[in-house]
Amino acid sequence: MKLVIGNQKTYLDLEAVEKFIDDTKNCKSAVMCPSSIYLDFYKNSSFELGAQNVSIMPNGTTTGEVSASQLQSMGVKYCLVGHSERRQMFKETGEDTNKKLQMLLTTDITPVLCVGETREERNAGKTNEIVAAEISEALTNLSQEEIEKIVIAYEPIWAISDGKNPAVIPTNPEIDEISVYIKDLVMKGYNAKVRVLYGGSVNMKNIDELNKVDTCDGYLVGGACIKPEDFGYVIDSVYKL
Ligand code: PGA
């Protein structure tokens, strides 16, 4: 079945988190990545636990960080790595994504590596080149067995909702093409089979159409995952497949 992962970013404060969990108690299962300070609240929700980020360091003298081991101890099953907001706003590098994957691979948390190009890069015909470079940096020195534990989320930066402009997303043939490209790349380069998700403005209006792309193994959902009706529809649409 396709995997659905919600990324709540820092959209919600405590009261809204409690209301959201209550409003989604009858939701079918998906993964939810809340802010790490709210992970405990989600333990009794209908969702599997995910995290939005992880430290490059093990437990110790790293003020303000959350380590892979700490996430594991909270019951986290998935963790995003290299989200474009981390790369762009917090200057996370390819080397950082590699270190984060290595930390997560010491636990049983499934890493979700995010890759994707900017609008300018796409217009310059560089989508595949950017995606290949981000994947190769992230997978440096990882074994075939380790790579097969990783899920890759293709998230074109230009399609990620900014909360203002109406969503423009790739067409189904474009999502199909990049999903196949990523799978082939990882198979040829590392002899490893990976799942590829699509992310960027997925919502109740486009999910039925997106579901027609067989080569795409699921979705990373941002803005729509804080709206119970919207996220519930996305999950139901995937379950119906
Ligand atoms: P969006 O975000 O669904 O709001 O576009 C996706 C993401 O940033 O993971």
220 lines ligand 1 (CB under 6 A): yes
Q: What is the mean predicted confidence (pLDDT) over 146-158? A: 98
Nearest partner of 52 among 2, 90, 106, judged by Cα: 90
**What are the structure tokens assigned to 31, written together?**
């993964």
Residue 7 pLDDT > 90:
yes
Q: How much is the pTM?
A: 0.97
**Whole-number pLDDT of residue 221:** 98
Residue 13 pLDDT level (bands cut at 50, 70, 90)? very high
**pLDDT for the residue numbered 186:** 98
Residue bearing tokens 């992230």: 138
Atom of ligand 1 nearest to the CA of 153: 9
**pLDDT tens digit sequence for 34-66:** 999 999 999 999 999 999 999 999 999 999 999
For the stretch 159-218, pLDDT in tens is 999 877 777 999 999 999 999 999 999 999 999 999 999 999 999 999 999 999 999 999
Q: For residue 167, what pLDDT is reported? A: 78
> What is the average pLDDT across 224-236?
97
The tens digit of pLDDT for each residue in 94-117 reads 999 999 999 999 999 999 999 999
**Where are the strands (E) in the chain, listed by range?**
3-7, 31-33, 48-51, 78-81, 110-115, 151-154, 195-199, 218-221
Distance CA 152, CA 135 (A): 9
Average pLDDT, the chain: 97
CA 21 / ligand 1 centre spacing (Å): 20
Distance between CA atoms of residues 87 and 202, nearest Å? 21
pLDDT at 166: 72
pLDDT category of residue 120 using cuts at 50, 70 and 90? very high
Is there an atom of ligand 1 within 6 Å of 50 CB?
no
116 lines ligand 1 (CB under 6 A): no
Q: What is the pLDDT of residue 87?
A: 98
Torsion angle, CA of 105/103/37/11, rounded to 10 degrees? -80
Query: Is residue 223 in contact with ligand 1, taking CB distance under 6 Å?
Result: yes
Q: What percent of the chain has pLDDT over 70?
A: 100
Expressed in angstroms and rounded, the spacing between residue 60 Cα and the centre of ligand 1 is 32
For the question of residue 155 being annotated catalytic, the response is yes
- Identity of the residue numbered 77: K
Banded pLDDT at 15 (limits 50, 70, 90): very high
N-terminal to C-terminal alpha carbon distance within the chain = 8
The SS3 assignment for 94 reads helix
